[in-house]
Amino acid sequence: MVTSVYQKHELVIGRLASAGALAGLVYLSGLLVLYPAEWQMVVPLAVFVAGTLATPWGYAFAVGSLAYPLLMVSPYLCALFLAVTVIPLGWVVRHIWVAILVAASPLLIGYGLGFLAPLLCGLIISKRAGLVAGLGARLWLTLLASFSYGPGANTPQGVDALRTRFGNAGSFGTVANIIAPFFPGSVGLLANILQLAAWAAAGYLVGLLADVGAQRAEARAQFSFSQPQKGDTLFAVEQIGWRAIMPLLLGVAILVLGLSYLPALLNQPLTGVQTDLAAYGLAAASSALVALGCWLLLWYLRQPVAVLGLRGADFGISRTGSIAKPKQPAAAPQPVRVAPPTTQLDRPASQPQKQALKAQSSDERVIMIEID
């Protein structure tokens, strides 16, 4: 029942989910306090309604609703925000969930899910989406330090902090305040670059290993069609392990080792969450579990209703997380015999037809004699 409804209305459900996510980001941004009190609930509702009609409209409403309070804080900050959000408009609309997860990374940190963006995008969408999500999430978390005062702070300190830091700054001062967290020193800059590379590599390798697992699952499904496995459920678990669990384990390992050991290699002191490896590993594991849960949910919703019995022959898991039923081997083509074309003279003629043909032949001979 649920799978059939989802498959019938997948586009509508996806549009509703993205519209709700965009409205939630606007509401939780902390910038709505600059609107009049009567508008603070209307603005997210307008974003949601526009997103349900069309995803580009919802994104445009979300950008516009955040640009207005930023304009009241600093016109230069608003101009940079519009440049970042409007220039890649086409790509963002086509990959709206990558943009949503990247933008929500600071909010997800509060729930121990700060690493969800590269893991989930690489696992469900593609390896390139995982790479972009890793770069974007880490870059956004680093730049977010420019919007607050405490060192290593992960959330903005409110509109008053933005006004104090950017309100009186000119164009160059605004850019300098934004990129300042990247340049604590030459070694610190190198550490930040390596962190970006680690997050991007985690998202990309999760997607790459997921592709390999999908290809392996399809090959095994083709093999099991002719030689069915005895333990169908075990066969399914094996495919899920190769397709989802193994890529997530690799991504978690890269993220944990990247944050914990890259600063040590550069003789940089560990600060903040880096000193608590257990807490950091727990956050990465939590993100991986949520990503696995989302993948399993889509895997269940997108599979054909007829294969919900977990038959081993049907577990060719596609790249999108659905179960692709293996195709039956095509039958060998049978030779087609084409009869030679028949003419009027090839078919057996009746007695009147024979007499008519004989008369026509005699007439032709008579004419030939008269010509001679």
Give the range with max mean pLDDT: 63-67, 110-114, 254-258: 63-67
Interatomic CA distance for residues 307 and 315, integer angstroms: 9
Task: Specify the higher pLDDT residue, 341 or 88.
Answer: 88
Cβ atoms of 142 and 178 closer than 8 Å: no
Token pair, residue 335, equals: 């030779």
DSSP letter (8 states) at residue 125: I
Could you read off the pLDDT of 207-233 as tens digits, one per residue?
999 988 888 777 766 665 444 444 456
Confidence of residue 312 (pLDDT cuts 50, 70, 90): very low
Confidence of residue 150 (pLDDT cuts 50, 70, 90): very low
Task: Specify the higher pLDDT residue, 63 or 258.
Answer: 63
Confidence of residue 145 (pLDDT cuts 50, 70, 90): low
Query: What's residue 152's pLDDT?
Result: 41
Is residue 108 predicted with pLDDT exceeding 80? Answer: yes
Could you read off the pLDDT of 11-55 as tens digits, one per residue?
899 999 999 999 999 999 888 888 988 898 999 999 999 999 999
* Three-state secondary structure call for residue 333: coil
Query: What's residue 268's pLDDT?
Result: 57
CA distances from 215 to 49, 77, 204, 209, 335 (A): 40, 46, 17, 10, 34
Least confident of 23-32, 82-91, 119-128, 311-320: 311-320
* Three-state secondary structure call for residue 267: coil
Average pLDDT value for the chain: 76
Confidence of residue 134 (pLDDT cuts 50, 70, 90): very high
Give the range with max mean pLDDT: 1-10, 115-124, 326-335: 115-124
Burial (0-12, 13-18, 19+ Cβ within 10 Å), 305? exposed
Cβ atoms of 310 and 233 closer than 8 Å: yes
